[in-house]
A and B are shown apart, each in its own frame.
Chain A
Amino acid sequence: MNLNKIAIAGIPNCGKTTLFNELTGSRQKVGNWPGVTVEKVEGSMTFMGKKVTVIDLPGTNNLSPDTEDQKVAEKAIREQEHDLIINVVDASNLSRNLFLTKDLLARTPHVVVFLNMVDMAEQEGMRIDKAALAEELGVPVITVISVDAQSVKNAVSVLEKAIARDPEFLHNKKEASAFLNLSANDAYSRIDAICDKVITYSTKEKESLTDRIDKVVMNKYASIPIFFLSMLVTFWLAIGVGSIFIDFFDILAGLVFVDIPSQLLGLIGAPDWLTVFLAGGVGAGIQTVATFIPVVFFMFFTIAILEDIGYMARIGVVADRVMRKIGLPGSAFIPMVVGFGCTVPAVMAARTLGSKRDRYMTIFMAPFMSCGARLPVYALFAAALYGKSSGLVVFLIYLSGLMMAIFTGFLLKNSLFKGTPSYFVMDLPLYHTPKLSNILKSAWIRLKLFVRKAGAVVVIAVCILGVLSSMGFSDGKLTFGNEDSQESVLSYAGKALSPVFEPMGVSRDNWPASVALFTGLFAKEAIVGTVNALYSSMDMAESGAAAESEEDELDISGAVVEAFTSVGEGFVGVFGTLDILGVGLVTEEEEVIAEEIELDTAVFRHISRNFTPVSAFAYLLFVLMYFPCLAVVGAARQEMGGFYTVILVSYTTLLAWAVSTLFYQIAEGHHPVYGIAAAAVLGFLYLALVLLGKRGHDMKPAKGSAD
């Protein structure tokens, strides 16, 4: 028999994804989150001496097309895109797992059961007779411990040998139709009969470890403090520890992709535009992506821990009481937690939710959770203007984001996404001891795919930006090398558009702040670099100095040393103060901040000259809410299609403008006209969403398609 494609199927939390990661290593094409297998994920492995494709199907309880995940799985199986299905079965709750198995058996001829978590089952006091199970199901059963690399290897070699010995090994020995078209009641009575035959209960059931942990974690009083504590630790790890390595990646990537290439290009006498394109565009783009890597990695890492130990599902339970008020199940909170790290995986994580309405609503709320890329912007402005209360101000911004997410939820519930609020059913997996190698592997795979996907967008964006900021017109001639001067095309555009931002307190003279909002479209942390560069160029223009920046001497060893020292300093900074949220970044002295985010101290002078504390807060509110970065727009489009993505982008941007303006006009109240305009925009938004909600009839659950 010819095996070219193997599909892996199983119910959520059965260890299917761990097995898939173990089998395929990092040879995957799409990112994979437990319970969030976004699409069917493909990888490859060597099986029986040749390369075969392995497809990871979304974890589903059955194959009825009730949810997006199940539709994907059902379609893949119906279209027979595989020669063999490995059905991962969690031995610790056999009957629920066999409910999917019977669906698989009814639909496809070649199934092999990988009986996983036998150790967990034994802890729960159950022993499963493998041979009897194989007999009952009519398909081979092989035991495996998916978290153990050696065990997975053994299981695969058992399968290879069995197939080599007997090509008929995989053929279903029972009539497939035995399980076809059974009602849930009948299916479970058959499954219960099988379970009775194959399971022996060794010990008397006592209170299991999971129940004992749940007693504390899901205690009436303790559950909420524990939830907040887990969030704090997540932040501290992702942002605090992650940011230790930002400079390291920034300096090294800058050296390798920007400084060295531009020096080399200069040596060989390459034309200016080529240097601009390669070093200033592509190189700077790669550098921008590289600075993302540590924070994103640690965010993925901590989220993998929360998932791996089984706490993530409990977060959904604790959050349900709040989420139900906006008509969402508690499980919708999980993507929002992910959003504190990065909005892109948050948008993708909305896939776990049953109904389209729930998914779209979650995607609309996720961008308001302040992601890691926005923190440097807050830190810069806070350091320049708020002194001792910097930490508080940044906290207020985060809180504003959370409140705007909730506001958005209420607004959408009554306008764009009317419809029946869904119910809440959440499986709570057994607690597992986390295994570091698995967590690292899963975080690494996600990081790689993230970098590949987001990287492409950011590199292209920075290229365009690099060219626009370099291109300029002097004496009617197109020139290059106008980076961050007032002559570049980008600066002209910023100046032209600055009146739009005037109502929220960005004066026309303060055009760099407007330009920065454009570079922020590509990635929000780009705002810091732009503001810094443009203010410095203003300085030069004022002092009459030549606009050309002096070439730095290339100092490779110096840069490398600096990169490594930055890690050491970072460790001292974060661990020395147990700095949660990287708050230290926003409370230190100006000079320290400037050094940490590599800015000229002049930028602080400019910020405090151009902004008042109130207008800066309005500006930060705008940065928090407006246009999610391009990578998010890409992800949103993939999940919701163009129509709703356009609404998302317009909604967030208009809301940002209205809220910032309203805040600024009320707090420093200069123009009642602007205040009224902002209120009018809010009114318009509501009206538009209501009208669009009437049009959006596809939101109403089609019969049998909503969860």
Chain B
Amino acid sequence: MTTSITKLSEIPKGSQFIIKGFENQDSEYAEKLLKMGFVEGTVVERTSADISDPMVFSLRHCRVALRKKEAAEILVKTDM
């Protein structure tokens, strides 16, 4: 396996990654996002909207804005 893990806040515009998990799986923040579908294995894309903080992501056919610092809580990988 040659998967590399990065933070969601680091991914470039228009790129697609797969959610791995959270820095802190038990945080309130993680709990809320999990319920919104940020579960392991979900494909997440940074949309072409180039506002840099908050950043706009798309997953499960929804667009969600997150702060850069808070998006750094979410870990993503390149493939399954």
Contacts and interface: CB of A to CB of B under 8 A. Distances in A.
Contacts of A189: 39, 41
B65 A428 contact: yes
Contacts of A95: 37, 60-61
A426 interface: yes
Interface string A176-214: 000000001100110000000000000000010011001
A449 B65 CA distance: 33
Among A219, A313, A316, A317, chain B packs the most CB atoms within 10 A around the CB of A317
With most chain B CB atoms within 10 A of its CB, the pick from A99, A126, A218, A220 is A218
A195 to B, nearest CB: 9
A428 B63 contact: yes
A215 interface: yes
Interface stretch (A61-69, A145-153, A239-247, A344-352): A61-69
A51 interface: no
B15 interface: no
A424 B65 contact: yes
Contacts of B8: none
B20 to A, nearest CB: 12
A458 B32 CA distance: 42
Contact of B51 (A211, A218, A704): A218
Interface in B47-80: 47-54, 56, 58, 60-67, 70
B61 A426 contact: no
B62 A427 contact: yes
A220 B64 contact: no
Nearest to B36: A61
Q: Taking each of B31, B48, B51, which has the highest tally of chain A beta carbons within 10 Å of its own beta carbon? A: B51
A227 to B, nearest CB: 11
A704 to B, nearest CB: 8
A188 B42 contact: yes
Interface in A63-113: 64, 66, 92-96, 99
Contacts of B47: 211, 214
B49 A425 contact: no
A189 B34 CA distance: 12
A700 to B, nearest CB: 13
B32 A215 contact: no
Contacts of A707: 28, 32
A422 to B, nearest CB: 9
B50 A219 contact: yes
Given A215-B48, A215-B50, A219-B49, A425 B63 contact: no
A395 interface: no
B54 A320 contact: yes
B54 A426 contact: yes
B43 to A, nearest CB: 11
B53 A214 contact: no
Contacts of B67: 320, 324, 423-424
A220 B36 contact: no
A424 B70 contact: yes
Contacts of B28: 704, 706-707
A126 B62 CA distance: 13
B66 A424 contact: yes
A330 interface: yes
Contact of A427 (B40, B53, B63): B63
Given A62-B35, A424-B66, A424-B67, A219 B61 contact: no
A47 B41 CA distance: 44
A94 B61 contact: yes
B51 A223 contact: yes
Interface string A564-594: 0000000000000000000000000000000
A215 B49 CA distance: 4
A92 B58 CA distance: 13
Nearest to B52: A220
Contacts of A214: 47-49, 56, 63
A425 B61 contact: no
A321 B53 contact: yes
Nearest to A67: B32
A185 B40 contact: yes
A96 B37 contact: yes
B62 A93 contact: yes
A206 B34 CA distance: 27
Contacts of B62: 93, 96, 427-428
A184 B35 contact: yes
Contacts of A184: 31, 34-35, 39
A93 B61 contact: yes
A426 B64 contact: yes
Contacts of A219: 49-51
B5 interface: no
A316 B63 CA distance: 14
B56 to A, nearest CB: 6
Given A215-B48, A317-B56, A99 B37 contact: yes
A358 interface: no
B33 interface: yes
A336 B11 CA distance: 33
Contacts of B40: 185
Given A94-B61, A218-B56, A317-B65, A425 B51 contact: no
Nearest to B51: A218
Contact of A423 (B29, B34, B49, B53): B29
A124 interface: yes
A103 to B, nearest CB: 10
Given A61-B35, A62-B35, A126 B54 contact: no
A196 to B, nearest CB: 13
Interface string A311-343: 001001110110010000010000000000000
14 contacts: A62-B35, A96-B36, A126-B61, A185-B34, A218-B51, A218-B56, A423-B70, A424-B66, A424-B67, A425-B65, A427-B62, A428-B63, A706-B28, A707-B32
Interchain residue pairs A-B with the least CB separation, the first 5: A218-B49, A184-B34, A428-B63, A93-B61, A214-B49
Given A189-B41, A218-B49, A429-B63, 19 more contacts: A66-B32, A94-B61, A95-B60, A96-B37, A99-B35, A124-B61, A126-B61, A188-B37, A214-B56, A219-B49, A318-B51, A320-B54, A330-B54, A424-B70, A425-B33, A425-B64, A426-B64, A428-B64, A704-B28
Interface of B: 28-29, 31-37, 39-42, 47-54, 56, 58, 60-67, 70
